[in-house]
Amino acid sequence: MIPYDKRSGKIWYNDNLVDWGDVKLHVLSHGLHYASCVFEGERVYDGAIFKLEEHTERFFYSAKRMGFTIPFSQDQINEASKKIISIQKVNNGYVRPVAWRGSEMMAISAQQTKIHVAIATWEWGSYFDPKLKTEGIKLNISKWKRPSPESIPWDTKAAGLYMICTLSKHDAESQGYTDSLMLDHEGKVAEATGANIFFKDKDGNLHTPTPDSFLDGITRRTIIEIAKTKNIKVFERKIEVSELSNFVGCFLTGTAAEVTPVSSIDRFNFKVCNTIMELSKSYQDIVRKKIAA
């Protein structure tokens, strides 16, 4: 894989198209030292960004929650995103808008820092090994928990919130797992390191944790909408780890993960059932505009 700083083409950077290798930020940028940085992850399918407007709206919400204002309008960011995937000729890939505080101040206070915005895009396939998308991935249970909602801006895509996700995923991979299940501050099921989670019970109903201390993903909401069109009941509720033995199916959802079946979590095993595969197919049909969203 080509390192991300060695790629070619252009990146949209503060309303300019800059050569990929020339996009720089100073080592004393506040966003690097104090995590005053927000971002989005978006998928390109057949040359179009799926739910671009919703992602951009969340991008601006995240910045507001972090106490800074993105110096462009949402329409400008939407147009810039479309422009950069066209320039880079990305047909099926990923888009990463990111905004951060600059280097004008270097301390906890950062009111006078300039806000920088960049949008990069690249061709990108499956987040997980395609083979695992049919066989299911294996998760351990992370020792790290999602913090209490009054301690962090939990409903944002802010850089600092992903520190424990990286630690959890590295630990899982070192043990032979693909990813890790994270619990919330109460010890209830929360999410995976970069995706929401669903469970299927013996009656065909879906259960998913209430997103009250972690991100309510755009893909998560899309899957709930799809399930309702199929007359599948979806229960958003608190889920105990001890309940996992009652479920027969499990899958992750996310912009990167899309719909990924889970074959096991720690000692709990699940089947990659038809319901999960049908939800995955319907999701692919929607993102590729074969059926209406």
Give me the sign of the Cα torsion angle 142, 143, 144, 148: positive
Q: How many CB atoms within 10 Å of residue 273?
A: 15
Alpha carbon distance 15, 37 (integer Å): 18
CB distance 72 to 83 below 8 Å? no
Residues 6+ apart with CB under 8 A from 1: none
Catalytic member of 51, 133, 157, 169: 157
Cα–Cα distance list, 235 to 19, 142, 204, 210 (Å):
47, 24, 11, 9
Active-site residue flag, 145: no
The answer to whether residues 249 and 226 touch, using CB atoms and an 8 Å cutoff, is no
Q: Could you list the active site residues?
A: 157
